[in-house]
């Protein structure tokens, strides 16, 4: 894929015209389509069915605890300073791990692992070692750095000894939330985190041999301006992480209670927010980062960049990934997995999760089994989000369709975006042009059958 500049990507007039709310497509169909007709019994039978498959496994472990609340956060979390709550949760998690492992067996290799939250480093070093020991006893981990074992870090809760522990138990990637280093912004969103603390953890991770580091930034927070955010960008670029995620703050206080503590009058105007985005894109690309898509930038030699160039990039609930052929097993409170063509989500409330695990070792309360049409549209949206193009012949051969006839209405809906220069349509392919890449969600939505038929009801964040 040819290198693009910030000027290629950012067109203010077209962004204002096409910016609207829509899904982020970490799954298709998206989570609002999940229903309670898919529960633990379906999950158990599905795990048994895929036990002898050849493809590797991906594991997601949810640690729900945070010791403080960041006001912008929309994640599933439990805010507490009672660290002794972690052990009873781990006891439940261990039982769930045992149950799942008994059903799926130990023949399929684990090539991807992600600890998310919440704050995974809410666990102490002993608990981290115990959890990883349990996982390795129950599943067949690939014991080299070709696998992707990652953890989300809060540098405010991470000592050098913790970094050493994480590397010793097998983690080789980390992701750290920063959002913004400006102290006024940090106070407004209740995340006080100095650049010194962040840099110390980053340096500790490099010293211990972590192979990849990601830093999360966020634009649209209260009191941000182009000038203040430029200071944060300079500091991050100096840190030189392998990947940078630049997220759009979506202010949805009616959905996420902590956001009600944010002073909406202090948030940047829509125009200033777009100015921050434009400046950030130019700054990161000029610093040598490649725009992968959706909020994500990576260095040219990063595995994400290479996978995208090879047409092997994939997207799941953790964002972009290089592991396209994995069944994803979710473990822990609220976690979501994708196994055997179905999505499965665990209970969201701790007491219900506990009761479910104690009853039969599983806690799935809803999910979704994809139809043939869902698989087709999931593949189309996946390739759009990852490649910015669709070659019709590939889908015709795999799914036995005539692409232009099958998606006649969808392709017709793209005419205005084509006229505006966001994309090109030919007899053989759809290609999203650089100026359309920031609005890739708009293109993907055209192929979303559930949105088209209004069967999906949810308030989504705006594209930019």
* Per-residue pLDDT tens over the stretch 13-52: 998 888 888 888 888 999 899 999 999 999 999 999 999 9
Confidence of residue 457 (pLDDT cuts 50, 70, 90): very low
Alpha-carbon distance 345 to 32, whole Å?
A: 11
* Long-range pairs, 300-304, Cβ under 8 A, ≥24: 302/212, 302/242, 302/243, 303/212, 304/243
Alpha-carbon distance 361 to 38, whole Å?
A: 16
Lowest mean pLDDT among 13-17, 35-39, 149-153, 158-162: 13-17
**Judgement on whether residues 292 and 421 belong to the same structural domain of the protein:** no
Confidence of residue 206 (pLDDT cuts 50, 70, 90): very high
Phi, psi of 196 (to 5 degrees): -65, -45
At residue 255, the pLDDT reads 86
Q: How many domains does the chain have?
A: 2
Is the residue at 345 inside a domain? no
**Judgement on whether residues 415 and 307 belong to the same structural domain of the protein:** no
Alpha-carbon distance 107 to 314, whole Å?
A: 24
Number of residues that this document lists for the chain: 464
**Judgement on whether residues 129 and 55 belong to the same structural domain of the protein:** yes
Average pLDDT of the residues in 1-21: 82
* Strand ranges in 335-399 using DSSP code E only, listed in sequence order: 336-339, 342-346, 364-369, 389-391
Is the residue at 353 inside a domain? no
Q: Which domain holds residue 249?
A: 30-330
**Judgement on whether residues 15 and 140 belong to the same structural domain of the protein:** no
The predicted model scores a pTM of 0.93
Domain end, chosen from 272, 302, 330, is at 330
Is the residue at 349 inside a domain? no
Phi, psi of 213 (to 5 degrees): -135, 135
Is the residue at 112 inside a domain? yes
């Amino acid at each position: 894929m040819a290198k693009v500049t910030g000027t290629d990507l950012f067109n203010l007039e077209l962004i204002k015209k096409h910016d609207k709310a829509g899904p982020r497509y970490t799954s298709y169909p998206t989570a609002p389509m999940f229903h309670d007709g898919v529960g633990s019994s379906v999950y158990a039978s599905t795990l048994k069915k895929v036990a002898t498959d050849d493809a590797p496994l991906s594991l997601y472990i949810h640690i729900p605890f945070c010791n403080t609340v960041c006001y912008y956060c929309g994640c599933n979390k439990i805010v507490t300073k009672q660290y002794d709550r972690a052990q009873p949760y781990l006891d439940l998690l261990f039982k769930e791990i045992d149950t799942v492992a008994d059903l799926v067996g130990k023949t399929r290799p684990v090539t991807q692992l992600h600890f998310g939250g919440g704050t995974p480093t809410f666990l102490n070093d002993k608990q981290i070692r115990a959890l990883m020991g349990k996982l390795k006893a129950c599943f067949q981990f690939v014991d080299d750095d070709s696998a992707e074992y990652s953890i989300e870090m809060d540098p405010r809760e991470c000592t050098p000894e913790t970094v050493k522990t994480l590397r010793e138990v097998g983690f080789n990637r980390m992701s750290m939330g920063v959002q913004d280093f400006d102290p006024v912004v940090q106070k407004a969103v209740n995340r006080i985190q100095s650049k010194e603390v962040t840099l110390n953890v980053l340096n500790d991770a490099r010293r211990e041999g972590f192979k990849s580091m990601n830093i999360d930034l966020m634009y649209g927070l209260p009191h941000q301006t182009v000038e203040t955010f430029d200071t944060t960008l300079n500091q991050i670029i100096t840190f030189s992480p392998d990947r940078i995620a630049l997220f759009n703050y979506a202010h949805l206080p009616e959905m996420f209670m902590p956001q009600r503590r944010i002073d909406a009058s202090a948030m940047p105007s829509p125009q200033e927010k777009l100015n921050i985005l434009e400046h950030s894109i130019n700054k990161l690309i000029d610093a040598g980062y490649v725009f992968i898509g959706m909020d994500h930038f990576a260095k040219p030699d990063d595995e994400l960049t290479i996978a995208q160039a090879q047409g092997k990039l994939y997207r799941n609930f953790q964002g972009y990934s290089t592991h396209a052929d994995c069944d994803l097993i979710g473990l822990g409170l609220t976690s979501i997995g994708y196994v055997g063509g179905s999505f499965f989500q665990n209970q969201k409330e701790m007491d219900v999760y506990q009761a479910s695990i104690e009853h039969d070792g599983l806690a799935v309360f809803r999910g979704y089994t994809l139809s043939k049409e869902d698989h087709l549209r999931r593949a189309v949206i996946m390739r759009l989000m990852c490649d910015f193009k669709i070659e019709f012949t590939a889908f015709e051969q795999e799914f036995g369709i005539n692409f232009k006839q099958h998606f006649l209405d969808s392709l017709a809906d793209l005419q205005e975006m084509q006229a505006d220069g966001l994309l090109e349509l030919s007899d053989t392919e759809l290609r999203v042009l650089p100026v359309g890449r920031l609005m890739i969600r708009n293109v993907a939505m055209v192929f979303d059958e559930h949105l088209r038929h209004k069967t999906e009801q949810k308030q989504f964040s705006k594209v930019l």
